[in-house]
């Protein structure tokens, strides 16, 4: 079986590795490079994969490289691996926010097959979603390999236009934090109304989980589900009116717009 090399062993790399192993890939087919000794030890202990400090050693002989380093250091990482990439011609799968396929190709010496992907935190539970874009040098087999890699952590969706990846980053890449923020605020409000921390946690967490299941397991839209639970003159309507009076829709739109812009800025800052 082809070897996959992860260049960076952070949380998202860990989630992908866990998904691949759960999907039947042998640990011996996965190598990880990470500069932090504690991270390497945890990867070896938890998954049985080979972990090392040197990127070039991890990448040697691997047919797929997963670029999982932080965007701010990815140029330096790629330029150091460029000669090796030109010799090996691996499929490159980048999960770095904001970094374009053109930038990665340039840093790695040109003419490389690159898939840009944006997974999200629920990938840690196999419940994530990833947007993917493949440049023109990725063939059908490369798309299959990249798809299998990201599908091990959840759902995948392919994009035809790379410029939309910044919006994917803003909506799904950053999106779990928006839900966590709402849950955090609900917990604080519940305690302010006199509920114990234990009761508040049980109510809020199950409410978020149940609402998500209704959205994903049924055919009704979010708007229709909201209408169903909002009785005229009832408690839900009173709460929704407060959200709307505070510009809830505008705040969400502005937040996603800012996250999209920040993703684009990461590309420019690393050009």
Structure tokens at 131: 């947007």
Q: Is 129 helix (H, G, I), strand (E, B) or coil?
A: strand
107 with 151, same domain: the answer is yes
Do the Cβ atoms of 93 and 64 come closer than 8 Å? yes
**pLDDT of amino acid 15:** 87
The tens digit of pLDDT for each residue in 141-180 reads 999 999 999 998 899 999 999 999 999 999 999 999 999 9
For residue 235, give its domain range.
Answer: 175-266
CA atoms of 187 and 150, how far apart (whole Å): 33
**pLDDT of amino acid 22:** 86
**pLDDT of amino acid 1:** 57
The H or E element containing residue 140 is helix 140-151
15 with 149, same domain: the answer is yes
Do the Cβ atoms of 134 and 160 come closer than 8 Å? no
**pLDDT of amino acid 14:** 92
103 with 234, same domain: the answer is no
**pLDDT of amino acid 111:** 96
218 with 124, same domain: the answer is no
247 with 228, same domain: the answer is yes
**pLDDT of amino acid 246:** 96
Mark the ranges of the chain whose per-residue pLDDT is less than 70. 1
22 with 154, same domain: the answer is yes
């Amino acid at each position: 079986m082809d070897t996959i090399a992860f260049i960076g062993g952070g949380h998202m790399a860990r989630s992908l590795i866990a998904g691949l192993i759960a999907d039947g890939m042998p640990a011996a087919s996965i190598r990880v490079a990470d500069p932090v000794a504690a991270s390497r030890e945890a990867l070896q202990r938890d998954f049985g994969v080979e972990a090392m400090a040197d990127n070039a050693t991890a990448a040697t002989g691997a047919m797929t490289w997963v670029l999982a380093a932080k965007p701010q250091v990815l140029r330096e990482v790629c330029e150091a691996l460029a000669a090796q990439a030109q010799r090996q011609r691996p499929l490159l799968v980048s999960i770095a926010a904001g970094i374009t396929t053109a930038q990665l190709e340039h840093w790695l010496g040109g003419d490389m097959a690159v898939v840009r992907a944006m997974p999200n935190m629920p990938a840690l539970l196999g419940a994530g979603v990833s947007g993917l874009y493949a440049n023109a040098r990725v063939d059908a087999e490369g798309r299959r390999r990249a798809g299998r890699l990201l599908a091990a952590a959840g759902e995948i969706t392919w994009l035809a236009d790379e410029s939309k990846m910044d919006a994917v980053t803003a909506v799904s890449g950053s999106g779990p934090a928006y839900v966590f923020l709402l849950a955090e605020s609900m917990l604080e409000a519940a305690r302010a109304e006199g509920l114990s921390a234990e009761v508040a946690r049980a109510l809020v967490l199950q409410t978020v989980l149940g609402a998500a299941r209704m959205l994903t397991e049924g055919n009704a839209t979010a708007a229709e589900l909201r209408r169903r639970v909002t009785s005229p003159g009832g408690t839900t309507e009173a709460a929704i009116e407060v959200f709307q009076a505070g510009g809830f829709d505008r705040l969400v739109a502005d937040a996603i717009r800012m996250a999209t812009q920040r993703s684009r800025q990461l590309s420019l800052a690393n050009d």
